[in-house]
Structure 1
């Protein structure tokens, strides 16, 4: 809007638009968007529809489909990815937790390149042992991150042993979400893109699980069990938000899960609740 008038860019000139025309334009943009939650579900289904996995997608909004083609074409793409991940690491406040998605291995993927962990021999393997993760840089600019170990089985070394408890590794879920937000910021800088991004998080295999923070050390205390199998959230953010206030992007993606597990006020997540100075 300029001087209380809307303008749309035509072939050669800027054309005045009515209020209704602006609404139709934005409605068309919304209808043309992919459903990120559905895309994450499809991504996880393609790997293992029954596995307990963390899936994340970050996608630039309203952009051409070749944002990272220059990256995948470069014979030194591994070095560029390593630099991007290194910069993202320096900004991370939360803990680094395995399986890592940085400098473990470098592999090519369909229309993209990936950094992996727990995937030897140039193959995409999610074996269910909690050791695999991959972060893919797609030529379109989309980033996808999949990690095992969303949950694990906790046992006690006593006789007779009680039944194993399903534990949700909420710290890993938060750490991977924070990492992808930082990576998106660094990718945007590398590519010279200062537009907005969309983010989606889906975690599967949660039903009946309790927060890992209730099972630290030897306390073995019990927390509330998560009552759904799947957790999914989506949010949007400007480049300024991603770069200067990444916690404001991470919070809407993970805090509903942390509240459900009753760990949202735990000291371990104090950094997440703190806004930048």
Structure 2
């Protein structure tokens, strides 16, 4: 079972990763566990419609900043003490997950970690409900938005909700600017550009500028990226696996096709080389960028180009997988801002048209560029790379008249 990422307990306290009941007992003894803005404890999760709504409100309240709920803890508020009191874990994680998905609006992504008291009896113990910060926060339950106070949940005021939505809009604007930066530093000289291009960025939102500097210099990042890339399907060319030429750059470490020199395609290159160009960078702060010079292409001997939407989905999925591996391996569980940009689209059909499916609903794209962004935490990148990939490309697919099941393998988790 997937282990929880380190939990933030509060200012001045070490991050905490409970794996066993003994870890929980020790945290209680050491005075680390107390109800805060980031942590709640409960004796049980009761059944029934009213109890389900209350559990949904509890989880929704953590969605803004993230946090956790420990179920199976008896708290004596008057005495200021806590004690483990095991609950029946059989079916409980599934029920809690169903509450998060069906009772919260929008559905809330959580992760449940059963912690048995006795390894020989997996159905009795403590349940850790991990609620990562949500890209869609704040979340509603029964028409009201919820957030977290110092130690308890509370209903958010209209101005608070407006500020949160405005902040999210600004982050999406930042994502558009990030993609604009990538388009501006396109490694293919303007005179050689014939095809549309793909740009993908995964930017950690709370890492220091030198988060991965040591790991880059010791080649730990290189080994991790290569291991991750080798697990990704090669159904599109040039895929992430073609980025086999490793080099250090001022921005961090790069993995590119051999056609690139100092991230610049030579002016003397022929037109076909553009379509074999791919570049992946991992920056000192953990920022991952991907470039591919083949978003559109034509059949041999023809001029009409088609949109290689499978290539867009492939490079988005690859970037998500790399970001997930970096965060999970090097201890960053926070938010990422993810963005994709595609150029050269206007008036062009999906490659589905090449398969004789034009009559089945494919249609020309109506704008020259496509951009989309979303947010996710490391746990979601790791557990739901397909869902995140789909969030980033679904409007592209819709604009081309392509159904989501065409690339189901890239959208599944």
| Structure 1: tracts of 5 or more residues without a match | 8-17, 157-162
Say if 2:225 is the partner of 1:84. yes
CA contact (8 A) 1:40 1:56 kept: yes
Say if 2:254 is the partner of 1:114. yes
Aligned counterpart, 1:250? 389
Say if 2:183 is the partner of 1:44. yes
Q: Distance in 2 between matches of 1:23 and 1:105?
A: 47
Structure 1 residues 23-51: Cα deviation after superposition (integer angstroms, max 9, x where no partner): 89979987699812212112212225964
State the 1:228 CA deviation: 0.6
State the 1:232 CA deviation: 0.3
Partner secondary structure for residue 65 of structure 1? coil
Q: Distance in 2 between matches of 1:206 and 1:98?
A: 19
Aligned mate of 1:142, from 261, 268, 287: 287
1:120–1:242 distance in 2 versus 1, CA, 3 Å: closer
Aligned mate of 1:64, from 197, 200, 208: 208
After the TM superposition, which residues 96-175 of structure 1 pair with which residues of structure 2 at under 5 Å, given as runs? 96-102=235-241, 103-119=243-259, 124-125=264-265, 129-155=274-300, 164-175=303-314
CA contact (8 A) 1:56 1:144 kept: yes
1:23–1:6 distance in 2 versus 1, CA, 3 Å: farther
CA contact (8 A) 1:6 1:19 kept: no
Aligned counterpart, 2:364? 225
Say if 2:326 is the partner of 1:187. yes
CA contact (8 A) 2:216 2:222 kept: no
Please report the TM-score for the alignment, with normalisation by the length of structure 1: 0.77
Q: Distance in 2 between matches of 1:32 and 1:262?
A: 28
Q: Distance in 2 between matches of 1:146 and 1:24?
A: 35
State the 1:6 CA deviation: 3.1
| Structure 2: tracts of 5 or more residues without a match | 1-36, 41-147
Task: Please say which structure displays the higher CA radius of gyration.
Answer: 2
Partner secondary structure for residue 131 of structure 1? coil
Partner secondary structure for residue 371 of structure 2? strand
1:28–1:234 distance in 2 versus 1, CA, 3 Å: closer
Aligned counterpart, 1:10? none
CA contact (8 A) 2:317 2:410 kept: no
CA contact (8 A) 2:366 2:399 kept: no
Say if 2:411 is the partner of 1:270. no
After the TM superposition, which residues 197-236 of structure 1 pair with which residues of structure 2 at under 5 Å, given as runs? 197-216=336-355, 219=356, 221=358, 223-236=362-375
Structure 1 residues 112-170: Cα deviation after superposition (integer angstroms, max 9, x where no partner): 110001425555327553011100011121111111110012356xxxxxx63211111
Q: Distance in 1 between matches of 2:358 and 2:376?
A: 37
Aligned counterpart, 2:48? none
Say if 2:183 is the partner of 1:55. no
CA contact (8 A) 2:281 2:290 kept: yes
CA contact (8 A) 2:200 2:290 kept: yes
Aligned counterpart, 1:240? 379
Please report the TM-score for the alignment, with normalisation by the length of structure 2: 0.53
Aligned residues: 251
CA contact (8 A) 1:85 1:183 kept: no
Partner secondary structure for residue 177 of structure 1? helix
Provide the alpha-carbon RMSD of the alignment: 3.3
Partner secondary structure for residue 285 of structure 2? coil
Q: Distance in 2 between matches of 1:255 and 1:67?
A: 32
State the 1:98 CA deviation: 1.9
Q: Distance in 1 between matches of 2:263 and 2:212?
A: 22
Higher relative contact order (CA 8 A, sep 6+): 1
